Structure 1
Amino acid sequence: MTSEGQAADTALGRKKLVSLIALAAISAGIVIGLSAKKAIWEGWVVDRLFQVRAIVENDQRPAPSPVAVVGLDQTSLDSERLTRIPRVLMTPVLAEAGQAVLDAGAVALGFDFVFAYSADSFVDPSTGEARLSGFDRPFQSFVYRNRGKVFIAHTEIGVPHRSFTAAIGSGGVRSVIVSTDNDGIVREHTPQLPLGESPHLIDALLGVGGAKIDEPFASIPTARLATSLPYMSLIDVLDLKTSEEGRKKLEEFAQGRIVLLGGLLPFEDEHLYSDRFLPHLDSEAAETGPSGRPRVQPQTAGVFILADLIGSALSDRITVAPPQGVLAAVSVFFAVIGAVAGLFLPLIVLPVVAIFGVVAGLSLALAGLEIGVLLAPGVAPVSCVSAMVAAAVGKVSILQRRQRSLVRLFGHYLAPDVIKHMAVSEELPALGGETRHVVVAFIDIVGFTKMSEKLADQDVVRVVNACFDAIGQTITKHQGYIDKYIGDAIMAVWNAPNTVDNPEKASVDAAHEIINQLDHIRQITAQNELDLRIALNAGPVLVGDIGGEHRRSFTVMGTTVNTASRVESVAKDKKVRLALSQSVANGLPRDYPLSEIWSGQLRGLSTEISVFTLDAPEIYMEKTVQPHEDDETQGAGNLVEFPRQ
C-alpha cells in the first residue's frame, strides 16, 4: 500500500470515528430531549413563558371576553338579603339570579354547584312534617324552562339530587372535573366530541357557544384570572335586576356571553392554574360589578378556571400540540447543533453554547405561543445540551486521547507544529512541501574527535547528550526547530515548520546565548576543552517531508542549507564561534555590532558572499587573532555598515 493510501485510510478512520461520535451524540440528544416532554419541571417552564409573554406584551386592555363569572362570594353572603339564608337553601335565589342573567342576554348559564341536597326532602324530625315541601320548585321550574341553555355540575363524589336531575334532564348535568398535569397544576383540557354530548360542562358550553375545537388545548392566560375575567357578585345581579338602570348594566355585562355561576369562598374548590405567575390586571381595566372582586388567593377558583378554558377556546386564545413530527424535527435540529459544537469548539466556550441553546430553545417555544402552538419547551434545550455534552465527552475521551498519545509518542522526534497537525488530522503529511524563507544553523562541537578518543563510549554519549540538551533548550526558547543531529553537530531551522516573525534576529540571539552558555556546558560535561562553532545562513528552502512509503523525515533542502554548511568553514578558518552570511546580517537590527570577517566565493558555490560575526569578545576562540588585528585576512579589519532593519 502506498503512503497516500495509508494516509487516506487513516483519514477515513478518523472521519468514521468522528461520524460515530456525532451520530451517538445526536441520538442521545434526541432521546433525552424528547423524554423531557411532560417532565415534572416542564409545566413550570411553560408557566414562566406565559409570564414572559405577558410582561413583554404588557396589555392592560384585555380583549372582550365571551365568558363572564357571577360569584357567590363573601360579599354576597354578608349582604342583608342573604346573610340569614343557609347556602343549601339558596336555590330560589340562584334561580332568580340565573333568570336575570338569561333575560339580560346570556347565551348559556353554567352552575359550578352540585346541588346534592334538596330542601323538599327535609322532614321535621320531631313531627315528621315535610315543612319545606316545594321550596326548590322555583329552581326546578327555572332549569326545566331553560333546558339546553342551563347546566348544573357533578363531580367524582357529588351528584345532583334526583329532583334537579329530573327537572333539567340528564343532558343538563355535566362534569366540572378538571385534569391536572403531572405536577398537579391545571393547564389543559381535552374535549370529547361531539361537544353537545360530552360529559364535561366545558364541552357543553363550548358547543352552545359554537366552538370548533377537536383536539386538546391549553389556555394562554394574560393575567391572573381573579383580576381579569369579567366578574360580578351574586348580590349585584339580584340588586341590579330591580331597576331599569340596573337591568341595562346587567345587560352590558351578560349580553352575548356564556355566564358561569360558582362559589368563590377561600379554600373551596381552588386549584393551581397556569396563571399563577402572571401579573395582576389593573382594577380599572377589569370589568367588575358594583361590589368589586374577592381577594386574589394563591390558588385559582375552579369557576374561574372553567371560565378561562371556555373563553380561551371561543376567542382562539389557546395553544395546541404541534403537528406530527415537528417536535422530533426540532429535537434533531438542536441535537445536531449541540453535537457539532461539542466536537469542534473548544471546551471553554461550551458553557456559552449551552446557554445559547437553552435561550434559543425557549425563544422558539415562546414564538410558538404566538401562533397557537405549544412546543414542549424542554425538548430543544435538553436536546442541544445533551448532544453537546455527549459529543464533548466523546471528543475528550476518544479523539483527544488519541491525539495526546500521538503527541507523547512523537514529541521527542518532531517539531511541535508538525505533531499538532498530525494529531488533529491523524494522518502523515504529504511528501514534498512548500518553499519558505528560513534561517539554517549548523552548530558543531569543536574538538569532538580528540575528546572521543580519550573517553569511553558511554561517556561520549553522556557528554554529547548533555551538550545537545542545553543547546536544544536555547534553540527552542528562541522559536527554533532542531531539524536533525549529525554526529557531533546540530542542524537547526528558524521559520519552519513554525512561523517566526524575525527569524534572523531569533537565530542570532539564540546563537549568542548558546555561546554565552559555553562555560556552563563545559561544567556539566566536565570537558574544559569543549568548544562550539555556529554558522548561519538565510534564504529560501523547500520545507516538507522527504522519504518513501516506510520511512520519512521532515527537513529543509536547498542551496541555503549547503551555503550554511560552507559558512561554517569560514568560522573555522577565522577561529570565531559564530559566522553568519550577508543574508542573515541584512535582517538584523542596526544596533547589532557586526564585523565582516570574510568575502569571496565559497567552495561549490558560483556566487560571492560576505561573512560576518558579532564583534564581541566571547565570539572569538583566540583573542589574539581578532579581525581588526589581522590586516592580511581578506575583508577583515573593520566594523561595517550596510542596509539592515
Structure 2
Amino acid sequence: MGRLGPEMAGVIVLVLVALVQFADFAPLERIRWQVFDIYQQAAPRAPDADGPVVVVDIDEASIAELGQWPWPRTDLAKLTRRLGEAGAHVIAYDIVFSEPDRTSPALIAERYARSGDEAALGAEFASLPSHDALFAESLREVPVVTGFFLDAGEIGREVEPAASFTISGTLPSESVREYAGALLPLPEIEHASAGIGSVSIDPDADGIVRRASMVAIHRGTLVPALSLEAVRVAQDLGSPNLLTSDGSGQTLSAPGAAVAVRLGETEIPVNDAGEMWIHFQPANALGLISAAPIITDAMSDTELAELVAGKIVFIGGSAQGLQDLVATPVSDVQVAGVTVHAAAAEQILSGDFLDRPDWALGLEMLLALVLGGILVVVLPRIGALPGALVAVAMIAAVIATSWLAFTQLRYLLDPTYPVVALALIYVVQTAAVFFREERQRRYIHSAFDRFLSPEMVRQIAASPDSLELGGEERDMSVMMCDIRGFSRISEQYTPRQVIDFLIAFLSPMSEILLDHKATLDKYIGDAILAFWNAPLDDPDHHRNAARAALQMIKVTEELNASMKGQGDVVWPEEVKIGIGLNSGLCCVGNMGSRQRLSYTLIGDTVNVASRLEGLTKQYGVPIIAGSALAERLDDFALIEVDRVRVVGRDAPETIFALLGDEVMPGSEIFARLSECHARMLDAYRQQDWDEANKLLKAGLPFYESMGVPDLNALYRERIRQLRDAPPAQDWDGVFQALRK
C-alpha cells in the first residue's frame, strides 16, 4: 500500500466490494438479515385487535387439562364445530392428520381382541364410527383447510391441490424449492377439507424465520402454502397464479424465477424462491386463544363469537411437546409456528407487503459505486477529519434512505454494502495516505539528511508541503568553497590517501554548514556547493552564510595545526581554502531526468558565486562576497575589493572581502585598514597612482595584520602595470577577469 496511490487503493476496494456484493457471500447475507430484523424490531407491523386472523393455541395449559397430545379427534371435531357455530369464516389446521386416531372404537376393540378381552367392550363397540370419520364429518360443516408436510424423500402419495396453480412463464424449478415426497392427511380427512396447504416452514441459516413460502414444487406440481390456501378458501377464489420473470417481462431476475403470486385481485410479491417476506407484528400482539376452554365449554358461545366471528382461525400448538416452535425477528423466545402462517395470511388479506424487489441489488450496487467513487476522489483532497465527516454523512444518508424505504414504501433495501464500501474506502484510503506520507517522510529523510541539519530534516518531514518539488524561484545565498592547490596535493599522495584527506577535511566543513542551516548541494571533487533559504525558509540566510564561511576559515586553520603528524590521515603542509559568497534569485528544486533527479539550484547567482571563489586566489583573500550579499551584512567586517567583470558575464560586480563577523568592525586594526583601503581605491580609480601607492605602503602593516597582504601586493603590481601602459580615456576602473 505504501507504493499505491490513495485513489487507486480506493478504486480497488470499490471493485472488491462490488465483486463480493455480486457473489453475495453468506456472512454478509446474514448481516443483511440482521439489519432487516432491526428494522422489524424498531417498526413492527401495527397490531390490529380486530384483525381478520386469530390463532387457537394448543398450549401447555390445554395439554395439562385435556391430556397429552394427540387428543382424540372427537375433541378436535367439537373444536371445529364450536368455531364454525361461533362464525369462524375458515379454519386452518397447522397439523397434519397423517395417521388414524388411536382412540377410535375399532382400534380400541382390536387391541382388546388381541388380548382376549373383546367381550368386555360389548358387541356393538367395534361398530361405532371412527373418530377420524367424525372429525371428517365436522370438516364438511365448516370450511376447513388442512395441512401437509413436504419432504425431500420419496414418501407419500401425490399432492392434489384443491385449486391447481396456473403459471405465467416458465416453471421456476431452479429457484423454487422442489420436493419428492409429502406427508399428507388421511384421505377421508383430506377429501372432507375445503383446501389443503403446506405447513412446512424453512428458517434461514441462522434459525430465524423471516419469510413464508407461498408456493413449492411437489413432483412437478405447484402446491400452495397453508396461509395462501386459507385466504383463497376464505375469499372463495379460484386458482392462484404464479408469475415468473420471463412471464412478466422482468429481466433483472434469472429466467423462470418467481416474481409474484396472484390471488384474485391481490398480487403477493415473492423472491426467486417463491417466499414472501413477513412483516411481523410485535411479539404477542397476535392474540392466542387457548384451545381447552373451547373444547370443555368453559368459554361461552358469546365469548367465542366475539373472538372468531368472520375471521380465519388458525389452529396450532405452542406446547413444547408438539415441537412446532420457531424463532422470529421480533420475538425473544421461540413462538408457535402457526403464528407464522397466521401472520402471512393477515398480510395477504391486508395487501400491505414487505418487498425486496429484484432491482434492489442493482440499486445497492449503484449506491456503493457512486458514493464510494465520490469518496475515493474527495477523501485524498480534503484530509482524514473532513473525509470522516463526509463518509459519516454518506453512511447516515444510506441508512436513512434504507430506513425510509422500509417504513414508508415497505421496500427492503440493504444498506450493508454501501456502508461497508464507504467504511472500507475511508479506512484503506486513510491508511494509504498515511503510508504515502510516511514514505514521503522517509524519502525526504533519505534525500536531505546528508545535506541538511537534522533539525531542518525534521521540519521538512513534519511539513512536507514546505518542499516545493519541480523548481521554484527563491532569493537565496550561495557558497562555493574550494581547496587552493588541490591538483598539487593530489599529485603528492595516492588516491586512497587523497580520499582519506578529503573525508577528514569535508566532514567538519559539512558539519559547519549544516549547523548554520545550509543545504549541501554537492561535492565537486574538493569543492563544496551549498545554499541557504531552501527547501525551508531562512529569513537570516545572508548572515548564516557569512558566519558559516568565517567558521570554515577558522576551522581550516585549526585543522592545519591539529592534523599535522596524524598517522591515519596524510595532511598537506598547509591547507588553504577560498570561498565565494553571493545572493540573489535562483531556481531551486528537483531537477534532472525522469530516471534521476537531484535537489539543486541553478541561476546567475550560482555562476557568480563560483567566479568569486576563483577570484579569491587572485586577490589573496579567503572570502569574497558579491554586492547583493554584502548589502545585507552592513555590520560585518567587509572591505570593498574591486569592481570586476567576471568571465561569462558582461555586467560588472562590486566584490567585497569578508574578514570578520559583527565584532570585528569594532577593532582598531580593521578600522585603519578599512579607511586606508577605501582611500586607496578612490585614488586608484581617479588614476592618482602616486597617492594610491603611498596609501598601500603606509597601510601594509594593517593588510598584514588582517591576513590579506597579497591584496596589497596585487594593487601595487596593478598600479605599476598601469603606469607603464596607461588605460584608455574612458577607463571606469573595472577589472576584467581573464580566468575563472
Q: TM-score, normalised by structure 1?
A: 0.67
Report whether the alignment pairs 1:558 with 2:603.
yes
SS at match of 1:212: strand
* Superposed displacement of residue 268, structure 1: 3.6
Match among 636, 656, 661 for residue 615 of structure 1:
661
For residues 586-611 of structure 1, give each alpha carbon's deviation from its aligned partner in whole angstroms, at most 9, with x where no partner exists.
Answer: 779xxx97344437645444465777
* Superposed displacement of residue 344, structure 1: 9.6
What code does the residue aligned with 1:560 have? T
8 Å contact kept, 2:230–2:312: yes
In structure 2, relative to structure 1, the CA distance for the partners of 1:236 and 1:525 (3 Å cut) is farther
State how far apart, in whole Å, the 2-side matches of 1:338 and 1:411 are.
34
In structure 2, relative to structure 1, the CA distance for the partners of 1:178 and 1:558 (3 Å cut) is same
What code does the residue aligned with 2:291 have? L
Mapping for residues 587-626 of structure 1, pairs under 5 Å = 594-598=636-640, 601-604=643-646, 605-606=651-652, 615=661, 626=670
Match of 1:460 in 2: 498
* Superposed displacement of residue 261, structure 1: 1.6
Higher Rg of the two aligned structures: 2
State how far apart, in whole Å, the 2-side matches of 1:404 and 1:512 are.
33
Match of 1:130 in 2: 126
Match of 1:9 in 2: none
8 Å contact kept, 2:278–2:347: yes
Tell which deviates more after alignment, 403-412 or 514-523. 403-412
Match of 1:70 in 2: 56
Match among 312, 319, 325 for residue 355 of structure 2:
319
State how far apart, in whole Å, the 2-side matches of 1:102 and 1:363 are.
47
What code does the residue aligned with 2:582 have? N
In structure 2, relative to structure 1, the CA distance for the partners of 1:367 and 1:525 (3 Å cut) is farther
Match among 162, 169, 173 for residue 187 of structure 2:
162
Unaligned runs of 5+ in 1: 1-13, 281-295, 638-645
Instruction: Report the RMSD for the aligned CA atoms in angstroms.
Output: 5.7
Mapping for residues 487-498 of structure 1, pairs under 5 Å = 487-496=525-534, 498=535
* Superposed displacement of residue 264, structure 1: 0.5
8 Å contact kept, 2:270–2:355: no
8 Å contact kept, 1:368–1:375: yes
State how far apart, in whole Å, the 2-side matches of 1:581 and 1:469 are.
26
8 Å contact kept, 1:342–1:389: no
* Superposed displacement of residue 440, structure 1: 1.7
Match of 2:575 in 1: 530
Aligned length: 569
* Superposed displacement of residue 175, structure 1: 1.2
In structure 2, relative to structure 1, the CA distance for the partners of 1:109 and 1:551 (3 Å cut) is closer
Match of 1:307 in 2: 342
State how far apart, in whole Å, the 1-side matches of 2:621 and 2:367 are.
73
In structure 2, relative to structure 1, the CA distance for the partners of 1:502 and 1:573 (3 Å cut) is farther
Match of 1:115 in 2: 97
Report whether the alignment pairs 1:202 with 2:266.
no
Identical-residue share of aligned pairs (%): 22
Match of 1:263 in 2: 317
In structure 2, relative to structure 1, the CA distance for the partners of 1:85 and 1:551 (3 Å cut) is closer
In structure 2, relative to structure 1, the CA distance for the partners of 1:180 and 1:610 (3 Å cut) is same
For residues 568-587 of structure 1, give each alpha carbon's deviation from its aligned partner in whole angstroms, at most 9, with x where no partner exists.
Answer: 47877898766656655777
* Superposed displacement of residue 165, structure 1: 1.4
8 Å contact kept, 1:22–1:391: yes
SS at match of 1:181: coil
8 Å contact kept, 1:106–1:259: yes
SS at match of 1:261: strand
Report whether the alignment pairs 1:502 with 2:548.
no
Match of 2:285 in 1: 228
* Superposed displacement of residue 401, structure 1: 14
* Superposed displacement of residue 450, structure 1: 4.9
SS at match of 1:436: strand
In structure 2, relative to structure 1, the CA distance for the partners of 1:388 and 1:578 (3 Å cut) is same
SS at match of 1:198: strand
SS at match of 1:320: coil
* Superposed displacement of residue 375, structure 1: 4.5
* Superposed displacement of residue 474, structure 1: 5.6
For residues 135-189 of structure 1, give each alpha carbon's deviation from its aligned partner in whole angstroms, at most 9, with x where no partner exists.
Answer: 4555323321233x544444547432233112115xx222111123344443333
SS at match of 2:227: helix
In structure 2, relative to structure 1, the CA distance for the partners of 1:449 and 1:263 (3 Å cut) is same
For residues 19-70 of structure 1, give each alpha carbon's deviation from its aligned partner in whole angstroms, at most 9, with x where no partner exists.
Answer: 99888765544333322x251x34542343245435655x797466554322
Match of 1:142 in 2: 138
* Superposed displacement of residue 490, structure 1: 1.8
SS at match of 1:164: helix
SS at match of 1:126: helix
Mapping for residues 565-576 of structure 1, pairs under 5 Å = 565=610, 568=613
In structure 2, relative to structure 1, the CA distance for the partners of 1:87 and 1:19 (3 Å cut) is closer
Match among 658, 670, 678 for residue 634 of structure 1:
678
SS at match of 1:114: coil
State how far apart, in whole Å, the 2-side matches of 1:354 and 1:477 are.
46
Match of 2:255 in 1: none
Mapping for residues 105-504 of structure 1, pairs under 5 Å = 106-116=88-98, 117-118=100-101, 119-120=103-104, 121-124=106-109, 125-127=111-113, 129-130=125-126, 133-136=129-132, 139-147=135-143, 150-154=145-149, 156=151, 158-168=183-193, 172-192=195-215, 198-207=223-232, 208=234, 211-216=266-271, 217=275, 219=277, 221=279, 225=283, 227-235=284-292, 241-242=299-300, 244=302, 246-247=303-304, 251=306, 253-254=307-308, 257-266=311-320, 268-270=322-324, 272-275=326-329, 278=330, 297=333, 299-315=334-350, 316-323=352-359, 325-330=362-367, 332-333=369-370, 369-370=406-407, 371-375=409-413, 379-380=417-418, 434-446=472-484, 448-472=486-510, 475=513, 480-496=518-534, 498-502=535-539, 504=541
In structure 2, relative to structure 1, the CA distance for the partners of 1:166 and 1:557 (3 Å cut) is closer
State how far apart, in whole Å, the 2-side matches of 1:68 and 1:517 are.
104
In structure 2, relative to structure 1, the CA distance for the partners of 1:614 and 1:112 (3 Å cut) is farther
For residues 311-351 of structure 1, give each alpha carbon's deviation from its aligned partner in whole angstroms, at most 9, with x where no partner exists.
Answer: 44555352324417435535655775797799999999999
8 Å contact kept, 1:543–1:556: yes
SS at match of 2:267: coil
8 Å contact kept, 2:626–2:654: no
State how far apart, in whole Å, the 1-side matches of 2:343 and 2:401 are.
25
8 Å contact kept, 2:150–2:200: yes
In structure 2, relative to structure 1, the CA distance for the partners of 1:264 and 1:126 (3 Å cut) is same
State how far apart, in whole Å, the 2-side matches of 1:467 and 1:349 are.
52
In structure 2, relative to structure 1, the CA distance for the partners of 1:554 and 1:91 (3 Å cut) is same
State how far apart, in whole Å, the 2-side matches of 1:520 and 1:130 are.
132
In structure 2, relative to structure 1, the CA distance for the partners of 1:485 and 1:174 (3 Å cut) is same
What code does the residue aligned with 1:73 have? D
SS at match of 2:481: strand
Unaligned runs of 5+ in 2: 119-124, 152-181, 236-262, 680-701, 704-740
State how far apart, in whole Å, the 2-side matches of 1:240 and 1:24 are.
70
Tell which deviates more after alignment, 364-373 or 197-206. 364-373
State how far apart, in whole Å, the 2-side matches of 1:353 and 1:542 are.
40
8 Å contact kept, 1:436–1:543: yes
In structure 2, relative to structure 1, the CA distance for the partners of 1:466 and 1:98 (3 Å cut) is farther
What code does the residue aligned with 1:561 have? V
SS at match of 1:319: coil
State how far apart, in whole Å, the 2-side matches of 1:509 and 1:631 are.
23
SS at match of 1:259: strand
State how far apart, in whole Å, the 1-side matches of 2:595 and 2:569 are.
37
